[in-house]
Structure 1
Amino acid sequence: MKISVVRPADLGASEIARWRALQQTDPELGNPFLAPEFTLGVGRFRPGVRVAVVEDGGEVAAFLPYEHARAGIGHPVGFGLTDLQGIVAPPGLRLDARDLLRACGLGVWDFDHLLAHQPTFAPFHSVRRAEPVMDLSGGFAAFLEEARRASPKTHKTLRYKERKLGREVGGVRYVFDCRDEAELDRLMAWKSDQYTRTGRVDRFARPWIVALVRHFHRTGFGVLSVLYAGDEPVSAHFGLRCGSVMAGWFPAYDTRFARYSPGMIGHLRLAEGCAAAEITEIAMGRGGKEFKEGLKSREISIAEGRVARPLSRHAAGVALHWARAVPLNRARDAVLTNRKLYDRADRALRAYARLRSGHLGRK
């Protein structure tokens, strides 16, 4: 095996074609977060993005996209933004994970949404979870009927609220692929407000993330969908598309219309729009949103963990990273896997956000 490391922009046309071919060897590799477009896009704005190219017998056998930070710390590309991570390789390929890190010049590699079935990193899993998927392969009508059977009360309530929205605000319509950048800016403003309101870190306060989202929208890799009531935009979603797979990414809504559940109405309309555009599945991503339970058709098994080379020249950085990250990750895992703890943490974050907002308002 030969492993070389390159910047994304240095990948040639034949290597990109091979990347796409490897995606076809495993259904889960079709996710947009594992597409070359995602790594190439993030690489435009993040200088530490690299790709390990693994060759065997003169042919490329695998690609590992990653970000190289200081002190030999490595992460998947777009760490903190991605809902699926992994090595782009045939399902049965098993590499020595520590040899791979050595070739990449890394002392440690963290992951939190890794495809759990990939053998290379299986020994390093610390937690396994599941991500929900909306299966549209049978068409929207079949999906809708299955969702209705799985959660009839939710479906009935949602349809009632959609009719009520149409009566009280204006006729409901949905634009699946909106090219208006002003609507994209509106979605990011809604999302920033949501992050602040719920005590989360505002991702759109980081200029590189704003630039990345705009880049994906302009190139067509990102799809902006907007739900309107009359002339009022009430909810929106920005996702990534790779062939027949949509990855949900940034949903948001106007809080003035919260009583109509515009986010859930939007997700149902998104499924209808995706089916019409020959998209056969929507990966909804990990999260504690209960509405996903009523819409999911199946799940993808994902894993969290880390690979470390304690005896590498980055040993000090590895040890410091462990001390900072692992206890925090374990505490977060306890919250994510316990519904009561999750709800308490969510309430605490919201209370903190209200206190912070009040304090800033008095200044």
Structure 2
Amino acid sequence: MSRTGRSTNRTGRSTSRTGRSKRAAGTDITVHRPEDLSAAQRAAWHRAMDESPEYANPFLSPEFAAGIGRHRGGVQIAVLHEHGEPVGFLPYERNLLGIGRAVGLGLSDCQALVHRPGIIWDTEELLRACGLASFEFDHLVEEQKPFGRHVTGMFASPVIDLRPGDGDYAAWLRAAYPGQAKSTLKKERRLARDVGEVRFVFDERDPRMLRRLMEWKSAQYRRTGRMDRFARPWIVHLVHDLFRLQEEHFTGVLSVLYAGDRPVAAHFGPRSRTVLAAWFTAYDPAFHYYSPGLMMHLRTAEAAARHGVRVVDLGRGDKEYKDWLKTRELRVGEGFAVRPHPVAAVHRMWRRPVRGLRNTVLAHPALREPADRLLKTVGALRSAHRA
């Protein structure tokens, strides 16, 4: 029995303590905490990731859901069964009112019900089985058709398709990005002359460099007026936890660019067997003249290809560097899956205008640029006040 109070009967159907069967489109459902998943269930989850490229993202792994669950309450996993076999997995967070959201909402760049090919479900029955009045998402993979009528907007999520180069980094860069190669290599040579030999470590295991990255990123958030994610202790602890994970389907990868012995830029993100998620990238602002952020992304992509990664997911959002780097775009959905329930109606009325206003600003350069300037002004005032 899982600690949520739902157990599985002899026919494989999930039952609550009142004895009612929980089903979605003929699929039996059980609900568990992440730590209560069996080894067989985790293996089935990994198998579903391997069988469909759209579910290969590390944010869709049981390891990521378990990581969030260690630092936030209310994380649960709905497991779909057919003929007694686990065939689908929906990680989510649930509050006491039955309001649900994709696990890691605000941090995760990919969300989905991970399932084996051919599995279908009824969304309303799924929500009822999970005890949810609503389920909010903002990076739902496009292939999740049963959620389709609940999607309020679709957005581009750029990716880089990778293949290993035949030579060194410079040869790979010239082949993959001929337009950026000359200027980038020139800046790297200048950095080497001015500071020290440029070297890159794809999988740096020194936790001091992870702390340095978070310090740089916090300073960047403050300069630009954004919310400082690393001011939240649970996110700091989560990143440290994921950094220590080195599993087949999930590894926390810290990459660092050095000039001599001095770290210049760093990136931390999770990877699965074939996908690396670009998550937190930052650099020492003393070296901004050399474009260290772009150097970091290019070095990471080249090294990731040599380590078996086939796709770098840059995440949803309009950024100039993403337009330079991307080879194509995925589509991700935002919205609220709901079932008839007064709590769902109130939650949607509260959240939808906020999301709509943000998306309107982000979609129009005439609005986005003044908003960015305002945030930077706020950040500068904040920094001056701290000083």
TM-score range, shorter-chain basis?
over 0.9
- 1:148 maps to which residue? 177
Matched, 1:276 2:301: no
Q: Any idea what the Cα deviations from partners look like across 1:84-132, whole Å, max 9, x if unmatched?
A: 0001013543311111111111111110000012112111111111111
Matched, 1:238 2:302: no
Q: Any idea what the Cα deviations from partners look like across 1:255-280, whole Å, max 9, x if unmatched?
A: 01011110100111111211221212
Paired amino acid for 2:353 = P
Paired amino acid for 1:106 = L
- 1:266 maps to which residue? 296
Q: 1:19 to 1:139 in 2, by over 3 A?
A: farther
Whether the 8 Å contact between 1:147 and 1:294 is mirrored in structure 2 is: no
Whether the 8 Å contact between 2:243 and 2:253 is mirrored in structure 1 is: yes
- SS of residue matched to 1:71: coil
Q: 1:140 to 1:205 in 2, by over 3 A?
A: farther
By how many angstroms is 1:308 displaced?
1.4
Q: 1:263 to 1:140 in 2, by over 3 A?
A: farther
- 1:253 maps to which residue? 283
Whether the 8 Å contact between 1:140 and 1:272 is mirrored in structure 2 is: no
- 1:171 maps to which residue? 197
Whether the 8 Å contact between 1:244 and 1:279 is mirrored in structure 2 is: yes
Q: Any idea what the Cα deviations from partners look like across 1:279-335, whole Å, max 9, x if unmatched?
A: 1221111122211111111221111111112x33xx1x3233223211110011112
Gaps of 5+ in 1: none
**Equivalent of residue 98 in structure 1, options 124, 128, 138:** 124
Residues of 2 paired with 1:227 and 1:184: CA distance? Answer: 12
Residues of 2 paired with 1:147 and 1:292: CA distance? Answer: 15
- 2:29 maps to which residue? 3
By how many angstroms is 1:360 displaced?
4.0
Matched, 1:22 2:52: no
By how many angstroms is 1:79 displaced?
0.8
Q: 1:140 to 1:345 in 2, by over 3 A?
A: farther
- SS of residue matched to 1:341: helix
Fraction of identical pairs, as percent: 48
Matched, 1:68 2:91: no
Matched, 1:13 2:39: yes
- 2:382 maps to which residue? 356
Give the structure with the higher percent helix. Answer: 1
**Equivalent of residue 329 in structure 1, options 355, 358, 379:** 355
- SS of residue matched to 1:103: helix
Q: Any idea what the Cα deviations from partners look like across 1:216-243, whole Å, max 9, x if unmatched?
A: 1112320100000111101000010111
Residues of 2 paired with 1:289 and 1:108: CA distance? Answer: 31
Residues of 1 paired with 2:366 and 2:63: CA distance? Answer: 39
**Equivalent of residue 217 in structure 1, options 225, 240, 243:** 243
TM-score scaled by structure 2? Answer: 0.88
Paired amino acid for 1:160 = K
By how many angstroms is 1:32 displaced?
0.3
By how many angstroms is 1:140 displaced?
7.2
Residues of 1 paired with 2:41 and 2:245: CA distance? Answer: 20
Matched, 1:52 2:78: yes
- 1:286 maps to which residue? 316
Matched, 1:340 2:369: no
Q: 1:259 to 1:85 in 2, by over 3 A?
A: same
Gaps of 5+ in 2: 1-26
- 1:41 maps to which residue? 67
Q: 1:238 to 1:140 in 2, by over 3 A?
A: farther
User: After the TM superposition, which residues 65-144 of structure 1 pair with which residues of structure 2 at under 5 Å, given as runs?
Assistant: 65-137=91-163, 139=165, 144=173
Residues of 1 paired with 2:118 and 2:28: CA distance? Answer: 18
By how many angstroms is 1:146 displaced?
5.5
Whether the 8 Å contact between 2:45 and 2:87 is mirrored in structure 1 is: no
Name which of structure 1's ranges 104-113 and 92-101 shifts more when overlaid on structure 2. 92-101
Whether the 8 Å contact between 1:48 and 1:69 is mirrored in structure 2 is: yes
By how many angstroms is 1:246 displaced?
0.8
- SS of residue matched to 1:178: coil
Paired amino acid for 2:33 = R
- SS of residue matched to 2:116: coil
Residues of 2 paired with 1:336 and 1:143: CA distance? Answer: 33
- 1:228 maps to which residue? 258
By how many angstroms is 1:145 displaced?
4.7
- SS of residue matched to 1:307: strand
